Amino acid sequence: MLDLGGFMLELGGFMLDLGGFMLDIYFLENTNRSFNDLYLCYCGLEKCVPLYSFGPAVRPNYLIHYVLDGEGYYYVNDNKYKVRKNQGFLIEPNVVTFYQADKDNPWTYLWIGIDGDKAKLYLNSVGLDSEHLIFTHEKDDALKEYVLEMLKHHTMSDSDAFKIEGLLYLFFSKLCEDHKETSSLTREENTNNYINKAIEFIQNNYQGLTSLTFKSGLAVTGQGIISYVIANITVYFILVDKRIFIKFLNFILV
């Protein structure tokens, strides 16, 4: 039984005897992969013994570790990171990594393995990518509480599947609170909004090249559509890939 600041966890746990040290591990593998954008592969909690290590290893999915107590070291791409309590690190798919608990103050950490069509986008939205592998969350114990709750829902019923999925998004929401920059998720949404408005304009007003006139007197020709879009051309060039914009202009000028 692992005592984590008032949380007593009994489900899905086992203990390993490593030369007199007892290693506590609590683990859940999620076999329900019904969600496409983002889903949990597995999660767990581990109280490590001094110098306990994992790797070198390559993972098929993304993996996030968050340190609840103690400290350790994360090695990736010839870099060494010291990771302390209230910090975490990202492991990317198909990248060789190694991590090890400190000798004097070994870490206790949680982990979540994730995958999905938008896993990379969502990670980028909370500030995690190949150039930013370390994060800090000091505000509260929410990340721990979410994973502890995931571990309780291990029956693989539809109800548990929705519960785990919801907790996973809450986990990301909490990480997002610590990331102040405009996220890639928001930028993609803004980009799509501009493109959709342009498409809607064409669908509602474009009939041939010269057939309609706006109340303002602007003819709905290729030039008219360009004039409509040109008011936001700076935003277009910032938010939209230039190749998309050029294709858009070529389309309406045909």
Q: Flag whether pLDDT at 205 surpasses 80.
A: no
- Lay out the sheet containing 21-29: strands in order across: 13-18, 21-29, 39-47, 108-115, 62-69, 87-91, 134-136
Lowest mean pLDDT: which of 26-30, 171-175, 236-240? Answer: 236-240
d(CA 144, CA 90): 16
Percent of the chain exceeding pLDDT 90 equals 55
Q: Which of 37, 44, 39, 34 is nearest to 12 (CA)?
A: 44
Express each pLDDT in 40-63 by its tens digit.
Answer: 999 999 999 999 999 999 999 999
Q: Is the peptide bond before 93 cis (omega within 30 degrees of 0)?
A: no
Side-chain half-sphere exposure of 19, counting CA atoms within 13 A: 5
Token couple for 12:
């899905």
Write the CA distances from 184 to 173, 181, 196, integer angstroms: 14, 9, 18
Q: Flag whether pLDDT at 246 surpasses 70.
A: no
Residues linked to residue 63 through DSSP beta bridges, in sequence order: 91, 113
What DSSP string runs through 23-71? Answer: EEEEEEE------SS-EEEEEEEEEPPTT-EEEEE--SSEEEEEEEESE
Choose between 247 and 117: higher pLDDT.
117
Q: What is the pLDDT of residue 10?
A: 41
Choose between 190 and 142: higher pLDDT.
142
Residues 6+ apart with CB under 8 A from 119: 38, 61, 62
d(CA 6, CA 145): 11
Q: Note the maximum CA span of the chain.
A: 86
d(CA 108, CA 49): 9
Express each pLDDT in 111-134 by its tens digit.
Answer: 999 999 999 999 999 999 999 999
Q: Flag whether pLDDT at 98 surpasses 90.
A: yes
Contact (CB, 8 A) for 227 and 252: no
Q: Flag whether pLDDT at 177 surpasses 70.
A: yes
Lowest mean pLDDT: which of 108-117, 167-176, 197-206? Answer: 197-206
d(CA 8, CA 3): 5
Q: What is the DSSP letter of 213?
A: B
The region, left, alpha or beta by phi > 0 then psi within -120 to 50, assigned to residue 90 is beta
Residues 6+ apart with CB under 8 A from 51: 100, 101, 102, 103, 106
pLDDT tier for residue 14 given thresholds of 50, 70 and 90 = very low
Q: Flag whether pLDDT at 72 surpasses 90.
A: yes
Q: Flag whether pLDDT at 92 surpasses 80.
A: yes
Q: What is the mean pLDDT of the chain?
A: 78
Q: Is the pTM of this model over 0.85?
A: no
